[in-house]
Amino acid sequence: MSLSPDLWIVIALLGLGTFSLRFSFLGLVGDREIPSWALRLLRYVPVAVMPGLVAPLVLFPAATGGEPDAARLGAAFAALIIGALSRNTLGSIVAGLATLYLLLWLL
Amino acid sequence: MSTTTQPENSVRAEFLRGIWESLPFLLVVAPFGLLFGVVATEAGLNLVETMAMTFLVIAGAAQFTAIALMEENAPTVIVVLTALAVNLRMALYSASMAPHLGKAPIWQRALVAYMLVDQSYAASAARYEEAPTLSTTEKASYFFGFVTLIIPIWYASTYLGAVAGAAIPPEYALDFAVPITFIALVAPLLRSLPHLVAAVTSVVLTLALLWVPFSLGLIIAACVAMPAGALTEYWLEKRK
Protein backbone atom coordinates (compact mmCIF):
# COMPACT_ATOMS: atom_id res chain seq x y z
CA MET A 1 0.00 0.00 0.00
CA SER A 2 1.29 3.45 -0.72
CA LEU A 3 0.17 6.88 0.34
CA SER A 4 -0.54 9.75 -1.99
CA PRO A 5 2.36 10.81 -4.24
CA ASP A 6 2.26 14.13 -2.42
CA LEU A 7 3.76 12.58 0.72
CA TRP A 8 6.95 14.64 0.46
CA ILE A 9 4.93 17.82 -0.01
CA VAL A 10 2.99 16.97 3.16
CA ILE A 11 6.20 16.29 5.08
CA ALA A 12 7.84 19.54 3.89
CA LEU A 13 4.81 21.78 4.48
CA LEU A 14 4.07 20.20 7.84
CA GLY A 15 7.69 20.64 8.94
CA LEU A 16 7.83 24.23 7.76
CA GLY A 17 4.39 25.12 9.16
CA THR A 18 5.04 23.54 12.54
CA PHE A 19 8.37 25.33 12.89
CA SER A 20 6.72 28.64 11.95
CA LEU A 21 4.08 28.15 14.66
CA ARG A 22 6.74 27.35 17.24
CA PHE A 23 9.05 30.17 16.19
CA SER A 24 6.30 32.78 15.72
CA PHE A 25 6.34 34.68 19.00
CA LEU A 26 9.78 33.56 20.17
CA GLY A 27 11.31 34.84 16.96
CA LEU A 28 9.37 38.07 16.60
CA VAL A 29 9.24 39.32 20.17
CA GLY A 30 12.98 39.46 20.71
CA ASP A 31 13.99 42.29 23.02
CA ARG A 32 10.63 44.04 23.07
CA GLU A 33 8.86 44.49 26.41
CA ILE A 34 5.66 42.47 26.75
CA PRO A 35 2.75 44.29 28.46
CA SER A 36 1.85 42.97 31.91
CA TRP A 37 -1.71 41.97 30.95
CA ALA A 38 -0.25 39.74 28.22
CA LEU A 39 2.21 38.21 30.69
CA ARG A 40 -0.67 37.47 33.03
CA LEU A 41 -2.63 35.76 30.24
CA LEU A 42 0.34 33.77 29.00
CA ARG A 43 0.95 32.25 32.43
CA TYR A 44 -2.32 30.37 31.92
CA VAL A 45 -1.36 28.74 28.62
CA PRO A 46 -0.43 25.34 30.15
CA VAL A 47 -3.66 25.00 32.16
CA ALA A 48 -5.74 26.37 29.30
CA VAL A 49 -4.41 23.95 26.67
CA MET A 50 -3.43 20.66 28.30
CA PRO A 51 -6.65 19.81 30.19
CA GLY A 52 -8.63 20.33 26.98
CA LEU A 53 -6.12 18.28 25.01
CA VAL A 54 -6.38 15.42 27.46
CA ALA A 55 -10.12 15.33 28.28
CA PRO A 56 -11.33 13.67 25.03
CA LEU A 57 -8.41 11.21 25.14
CA VAL A 58 -9.45 10.18 28.66
CA LEU A 59 -13.20 10.01 28.08
CA PHE A 60 -13.24 8.56 24.56
CA PRO A 61 -9.97 6.64 24.06
CA ALA A 62 -9.30 5.59 20.45
CA ALA A 63 -7.95 2.22 21.67
CA THR A 64 -11.43 1.17 22.85
CA GLY A 65 -13.15 2.54 19.75
CA GLY A 66 -14.14 5.72 21.58
CA GLU A 67 -15.98 3.92 24.40
CA PRO A 68 -15.29 5.18 27.95
CA ASP A 69 -13.11 2.65 29.74
CA ALA A 70 -12.89 2.09 33.50
CA ALA A 71 -9.14 1.36 33.56
CA ARG A 72 -8.25 4.55 31.68
CA LEU A 73 -10.68 6.69 33.68
CA GLY A 74 -9.25 5.29 36.93
CA ALA A 75 -5.67 5.89 35.75
CA ALA A 76 -6.43 9.49 34.79
CA PHE A 77 -8.11 10.09 38.14
CA ALA A 78 -5.16 8.61 40.07
CA ALA A 79 -2.65 10.71 38.11
CA LEU A 80 -4.71 13.83 38.71
CA ILE A 81 -5.20 13.33 42.46
CA ILE A 82 -1.63 12.24 43.20
CA GLY A 83 -0.24 15.04 41.03
CA ALA A 84 -2.38 17.71 42.69
CA LEU A 85 -1.72 16.47 46.25
CA SER A 86 2.00 15.72 45.94
CA ARG A 87 2.84 18.40 43.34
CA ASN A 88 5.19 15.78 41.97
CA THR A 89 5.14 14.97 38.26
CA LEU A 90 7.00 11.69 38.54
CA GLY A 91 4.72 10.50 41.36
CA SER A 92 1.73 11.37 39.23
CA ILE A 93 3.03 9.42 36.18
CA VAL A 94 3.87 6.38 38.32
CA ALA A 95 0.46 6.48 40.07
CA GLY A 96 -1.32 6.78 36.71
CA LEU A 97 0.56 3.94 35.02
CA ALA A 98 0.33 1.68 38.09
CA THR A 99 -3.44 2.23 38.33
CA LEU A 100 -3.83 1.67 34.58
CA TYR A 101 -2.06 -1.69 34.59
CA LEU A 102 -3.64 -2.79 37.87
CA LEU A 103 -7.15 -2.07 36.58
CA LEU A 104 -6.46 -3.59 33.16
CA TRP A 105 -5.27 -6.74 34.95
CA LEU A 106 -8.18 -6.82 37.42
CA LEU A 107 -11.03 -6.01 35.03
CA MET B 1 30.67 37.20 29.88
CA SER B 2 30.94 37.40 33.62
CA THR B 3 34.30 37.26 35.37
CA THR B 4 33.06 35.16 38.29
CA THR B 5 32.37 31.46 37.97
CA GLN B 6 29.06 31.66 39.83
CA PRO B 7 26.78 32.34 36.83
CA GLU B 8 28.45 29.61 34.80
CA ASN B 9 27.90 27.17 37.65
CA SER B 10 24.23 28.03 37.85
CA VAL B 11 23.86 27.75 34.08
CA ARG B 12 25.40 24.29 34.29
CA ALA B 13 23.19 23.44 37.26
CA GLU B 14 20.05 24.38 35.31
CA PHE B 15 21.20 22.23 32.39
CA LEU B 16 21.72 19.23 34.68
CA ARG B 17 18.41 19.89 36.42
CA GLY B 18 16.74 19.86 33.00
CA ILE B 19 18.26 16.49 32.12
CA TRP B 20 17.33 15.09 35.54
CA GLU B 21 13.73 16.28 35.38
CA SER B 22 13.32 14.90 31.85
CA LEU B 23 14.06 11.33 32.94
CA PRO B 24 10.48 10.28 33.81
CA PHE B 25 9.31 11.55 30.42
CA LEU B 26 11.63 9.18 28.61
CA LEU B 27 9.28 6.41 29.77
CA VAL B 28 6.56 8.04 27.70
CA VAL B 29 8.41 9.45 24.71
CA ALA B 30 10.05 6.12 23.84
CA PRO B 31 6.83 4.09 23.45
CA PHE B 32 5.15 6.98 21.64
CA GLY B 33 8.01 7.19 19.11
CA LEU B 34 8.01 3.41 18.73
CA LEU B 35 4.28 3.50 18.05
CA PHE B 36 4.68 6.23 15.42
CA GLY B 37 7.41 4.23 13.67
CA VAL B 38 5.14 1.18 13.55
CA VAL B 39 2.04 3.09 12.41
CA ALA B 40 3.92 5.01 9.70
CA THR B 41 5.52 1.82 8.36
CA GLU B 42 2.20 -0.01 8.32
CA ALA B 43 0.67 2.94 6.44
CA GLY B 44 3.26 2.44 3.69
CA LEU B 45 5.95 5.01 4.49
CA ASN B 46 9.49 3.77 3.92
CA LEU B 47 12.25 4.30 6.47
CA VAL B 48 13.53 7.53 4.88
CA GLU B 49 10.04 9.03 4.73
CA THR B 50 9.21 8.04 8.31
CA MET B 51 12.45 9.48 9.66
CA ALA B 52 12.16 12.66 7.56
CA MET B 53 8.74 13.29 9.04
CA THR B 54 9.97 12.66 12.58
CA PHE B 55 13.02 14.95 12.10
CA LEU B 56 11.17 17.78 10.43
CA VAL B 57 7.94 17.80 12.42
CA ILE B 58 8.65 16.35 15.94
CA ALA B 59 5.01 16.54 16.92
CA GLY B 60 3.52 13.12 17.58
CA ALA B 61 -0.16 14.05 17.53
CA ALA B 62 0.09 15.99 14.24
CA GLN B 63 2.14 13.20 12.65
CA PHE B 64 -0.47 10.59 13.59
CA THR B 65 -3.21 12.89 12.25
CA ALA B 66 -1.44 13.39 8.92
CA ILE B 67 -0.84 9.65 8.44
CA ALA B 68 -4.46 8.80 9.28
CA LEU B 69 -5.79 11.38 6.80
CA MET B 70 -3.42 10.25 4.04
CA GLU B 71 -4.62 6.68 4.58
CA GLU B 72 -8.14 7.96 3.97
CA ASN B 73 -6.87 9.60 0.75
CA ALA B 74 -7.76 13.09 1.94
CA PRO B 75 -6.58 15.92 -0.36
CA THR B 76 -3.05 17.14 0.42
CA VAL B 77 -4.26 20.61 1.40
CA ILE B 78 -6.67 19.11 3.96
CA VAL B 79 -3.95 16.82 5.35
CA VAL B 80 -1.55 19.73 5.88
CA LEU B 81 -4.12 22.18 7.26
CA THR B 82 -5.66 19.67 9.67
CA ALA B 83 -2.29 18.57 11.03
CA LEU B 84 -1.24 22.21 11.41
CA ALA B 85 -4.50 22.98 13.24
CA VAL B 86 -3.57 20.19 15.67
CA ASN B 87 -0.30 22.07 16.16
CA LEU B 88 -1.83 25.54 16.59
CA ARG B 89 -1.31 25.25 20.34
CA MET B 90 2.44 25.51 19.62
CA ALA B 91 1.92 29.19 18.78
CA LEU B 92 0.53 29.67 22.29
CA TYR B 93 3.53 27.82 23.72
CA SER B 94 5.79 30.11 21.70
CA ALA B 95 4.05 33.20 23.06
CA SER B 96 4.30 31.83 26.59
CA MET B 97 8.06 31.19 26.23
CA ALA B 98 8.73 34.61 24.65
CA PRO B 99 8.85 36.62 27.92
CA HIS B 100 11.43 34.17 29.31
CA LEU B 101 13.61 33.45 26.29
CA GLY B 102 12.92 36.47 24.06
CA LYS B 103 16.32 37.96 24.88
CA ALA B 104 18.29 34.81 24.01
CA PRO B 105 20.34 34.87 20.78
CA ILE B 106 18.29 34.20 17.66
CA TRP B 107 19.96 30.84 16.96
CA GLN B 108 19.04 29.68 20.45
CA ARG B 109 15.45 30.80 20.00
CA ALA B 110 15.32 28.94 16.68
CA LEU B 111 16.64 25.78 18.37
CA VAL B 112 14.15 26.13 21.22
CA ALA B 113 11.36 26.59 18.66
CA TYR B 114 12.41 23.45 16.79
CA MET B 115 12.29 21.38 20.00
CA LEU B 116 9.24 23.02 21.60
CA VAL B 117 7.08 19.94 22.21
CA ASP B 118 4.32 19.55 24.81
CA GLN B 119 6.63 18.03 27.42
CA SER B 120 9.58 20.42 27.02
CA TYR B 121 7.18 23.36 27.01
CA ALA B 122 5.19 22.36 30.09
CA ALA B 123 8.26 21.39 32.11
CA SER B 124 10.06 24.66 31.29
CA ALA B 125 6.98 26.80 31.96
CA ALA B 126 6.68 25.12 35.38
CA ARG B 127 10.40 25.68 36.12
CA TYR B 128 10.26 29.37 35.10
CA GLU B 129 7.21 29.92 37.30
CA GLU B 130 8.92 28.18 40.22
CA ALA B 131 12.17 30.17 39.81
CA PRO B 132 11.27 33.54 38.23
CA THR B 133 14.61 35.14 39.06
CA LEU B 134 16.58 32.86 36.74
CA SER B 135 18.46 34.71 33.99
CA THR B 136 17.64 34.18 30.31
CA THR B 137 20.79 32.07 29.94
CA GLU B 138 19.82 29.89 32.89
CA LYS B 139 16.29 29.46 31.58
CA ALA B 140 17.54 28.51 28.11
CA SER B 141 19.97 26.13 29.75
CA TYR B 142 17.17 24.35 31.60
CA PHE B 143 15.25 23.95 28.35
CA PHE B 144 18.26 22.56 26.48
CA GLY B 145 18.99 20.17 29.35
CA PHE B 146 15.42 18.93 29.26
CA VAL B 147 15.50 18.13 25.53
CA THR B 148 19.03 16.65 25.52
CA LEU B 149 17.75 13.09 25.97
CA ILE B 150 14.10 13.51 25.01
CA ILE B 151 14.61 14.51 21.38
CA PRO B 152 17.31 11.91 20.45
CA ILE B 153 15.17 9.23 22.12
CA TRP B 154 12.16 10.35 20.08
CA TYR B 155 14.23 9.92 16.87
CA ALA B 156 15.74 6.61 18.00
CA SER B 157 12.46 5.06 19.13
CA THR B 158 10.75 6.06 15.86
CA TYR B 159 13.61 4.40 14.00
CA LEU B 160 13.29 1.23 16.09
CA GLY B 161 9.54 1.15 15.54
CA ALA B 162 9.96 1.59 11.79
CA VAL B 163 12.67 -1.08 11.54
CA ALA B 164 11.23 -3.62 13.98
CA GLY B 165 7.84 -3.09 12.39
CA ALA B 166 5.95 -5.56 14.56
CA ALA B 167 2.83 -4.08 16.08
CA ILE B 168 2.92 -3.49 19.83
CA PRO B 169 0.22 -5.64 21.49
CA PRO B 170 -2.74 -3.42 22.43
CA GLU B 171 -2.88 -4.85 25.97
CA TYR B 172 0.15 -2.69 26.81
CA ALA B 173 -2.25 0.27 26.47
CA LEU B 174 0.59 2.51 25.27
CA ASP B 175 -2.02 4.83 23.83
CA PHE B 176 -2.65 6.01 27.35
CA ALA B 177 0.93 6.83 28.33
CA VAL B 178 0.66 10.26 26.71
CA PRO B 179 -2.59 11.41 28.37
CA ILE B 180 -1.11 10.40 31.73
CA THR B 181 1.96 12.57 31.12
CA PHE B 182 -0.15 15.58 30.24
CA ILE B 183 -2.19 15.12 33.42
CA ALA B 184 1.01 14.74 35.44
CA LEU B 185 2.35 17.99 33.99
CA VAL B 186 -0.75 20.00 34.82
CA ALA B 187 -2.07 18.45 38.06
CA PRO B 188 0.58 20.09 40.30
CA LEU B 189 -0.60 23.52 39.08
CA LEU B 190 -4.23 22.96 40.02
CA ARG B 191 -3.94 23.94 43.67
CA SER B 192 -4.50 27.61 42.94
CA LEU B 193 -8.06 28.77 42.22
CA PRO B 194 -7.28 30.74 39.01
CA HIS B 195 -5.44 27.73 37.54
CA LEU B 196 -8.33 25.47 38.49
CA VAL B 197 -10.83 27.84 36.85
CA ALA B 198 -8.76 27.89 33.63
CA ALA B 199 -8.44 24.09 33.61
CA VAL B 200 -12.15 23.45 34.17
CA THR B 201 -13.07 26.01 31.49
CA SER B 202 -10.67 24.32 29.09
CA VAL B 203 -12.14 20.84 29.69
CA VAL B 204 -15.80 21.87 29.59
CA LEU B 205 -15.45 23.99 26.45
CA THR B 206 -13.30 21.49 24.56
CA LEU B 207 -15.85 18.76 25.23
CA ALA B 208 -18.72 21.07 24.25
CA LEU B 209 -16.88 22.01 21.04
CA LEU B 210 -15.84 18.52 19.91
CA TRP B 211 -18.07 18.97 16.84
CA VAL B 212 -15.94 21.88 15.56
CA PRO B 213 -13.80 20.61 12.64
CA PHE B 214 -9.97 20.47 12.49
CA SER B 215 -9.57 20.29 16.31
CA LEU B 216 -10.21 24.02 16.44
CA GLY B 217 -12.48 23.53 19.47
CA LEU B 218 -9.38 23.13 21.64
CA ILE B 219 -7.95 26.46 20.45
CA ILE B 220 -11.25 28.27 21.05
CA ALA B 221 -11.49 26.69 24.52
CA ALA B 222 -7.90 27.72 25.33
CA CYS B 223 -8.54 31.30 24.21
CA VAL B 224 -11.44 31.51 26.69
CA ALA B 225 -9.72 29.56 29.48
CA MET B 226 -6.67 31.87 29.53
CA PRO B 227 -8.63 35.07 30.33
CA ALA B 228 -10.86 33.06 32.71
CA GLY B 229 -7.76 32.18 34.77
CA ALA B 230 -6.18 35.62 34.46
CA LEU B 231 -9.40 37.43 35.46
CA THR B 232 -9.93 35.15 38.47
CA GLU B 233 -6.38 35.98 39.57
CA TYR B 234 -7.07 39.70 39.07
CA TRP B 235 -10.30 39.60 41.12
CA LEU B 236 -8.68 37.65 43.93
CA GLU B 237 -5.91 40.25 44.11
CA LYS B 238 -8.37 43.12 44.15
CA ARG B 239 -10.42 41.58 46.97
CA LYS B 240 -7.40 41.44 49.26
pLDDT above 70: residue B193: yes
Chain B CB contacts of A34 under 8 Å are: 98-99, 102
What is the per-residue pLDDT for A62? 78
Name the nearest CA neighbour of B104 among B132, B140, B129: B140
Partner-chain contact A26 B94, CB within 8 Å:
yes
Q: What angle do CA A57, A58, A64 make, to 5 degrees?
A: 75
Which residue intervals of chain B are DSSP H helices? 6-42, 47-57, 60-71, 76-86, 89-101, 106-114, 118-130, 136-164, 177-186, 193-208, 216-239
What is the per-residue pLDDT for B36? 84
Contact between A52 and B205 (Cβ < 8 Å) = yes
Partner-chain contact B53 A42, CB within 8 Å:
no
pLDDT above 60: residue B201: yes
**A/B interface, count of CB pairs below 8 Å:** 291
Percent above pLDDT 90 for chain B: 54
Residue B180: Cβ within 10 Å count: 29
User: Which distant-in-sequence residues (6+ apart) come within 8 Å of B46 by Cβ?
Assistant: none
Rounded Cα distance between B225 and B228, Å, is: 5
Rounded Cα distance between A87 and B187, Å, is: 7
Query: What is the mean pLDDT of the segment spanning B48-62?
Result: 90
Which one of A4, A14, A60 would you mutate to disrupt binding with B, by most B Cβ within 10 Å of its Cβ? A14
Partner-chain contact A46 B189, CB within 8 Å:
yes
Residue B30 banded pLDDT, cuts 50, 70, 90: confident
Residue B180 banded pLDDT, cuts 50, 70, 90: confident
Q: Does B84 touch chain A (CB under 8 A)?
A: yes
What is the per-residue pLDDT for B168? 62
φ, ψ for residue B4 (rounded to 5)?
-85, 165
Chain B CB contacts of A77 under 8 Å are: none
Query: What is the mean pLDDT of the segment spanning B42-69?
Result: 87
Q: Which helix (H) or strand (E) holds A71?
A: helix A70-86
pLDDT tens for B153-164 read 999 999 998 988
| Shortest alpha-carbon distance between residue A3 and chain B (Å) | 6
pLDDT above 90: residue A64: no
Chain B CB contacts of A105 under 8 Å are: none
What is the per-residue pLDDT for A9? 93
What is the per-residue pLDDT for A4? 56
Q: Would you give the DSSP letter of residue B104?
A: S
pLDDT above 60: residue B213: yes
Rounded Cα distance between B132 and B114, Å, is: 24
Rounded Cα distance between B47 and B163, Å, is: 7
pLDDT above 70: residue B2: no
Rounded Cα distance between B46 and B37, Å, is: 10
User: Which distant-in-sequence residues (6+ apart) come within 8 Å of A3 by Cβ?
Assistant: B43, B44, B45, B67, B70, B71
Rounded Cα distance between A70 and A76, Å, is: 10
Residue A63 banded pLDDT, cuts 50, 70, 90: confident
pLDDT above 90: residue B19: yes
Helix (H, G, I), strand (E, B) or coil at A65: coil
Q: Would you give the DSSP letter of residue B14?
A: H
Q: Would you give the DSSP letter of residue B169?
A: P
Return the beta strands (E) in chain B as ranges. Answer: none
Torsion of CA B209, B210, B216, B221, to 10 degrees: 40
| Inter-CA distances, B145 with A80, B13, B27, B128, B141, Å | 26, 10, 17, 14, 6
ipTM value: 0.85
Q: Average pLDDT of chain A?
A: 88
Helix (H, G, I), strand (E, B) or coil at A90: helix
What is the per-residue pLDDT for B6? 56
Query: What is the mean pLDDT of the segment spanning B68-78?
Result: 80
Which one of A47, A54, A90, A94 would you mutate to disrupt binding with B, by most B Cβ within 10 Å of its Cβ? A47
User: Which distant-in-sequence residues (6+ apart) come within 8 Å of A2 by Cβ?
Assistant: B44
Chain B CB contacts of A39 under 8 Å are: 99
Chain A CB contacts of B109 under 8 Å are: 23, 26-27
Contact between B210 and B217 (Cβ < 8 Å) = yes
Residue type, B39: V
Please tell me the pTM assigned to this model. 0.81
Rounded Cα distance between B189 and B146, Å, is: 19
Rounded Cα distance between B96 and B98, Å, is: 6
Partner-chain contact B80 A48, CB within 8 Å:
no
Residue B137 banded pLDDT, cuts 50, 70, 90: very high
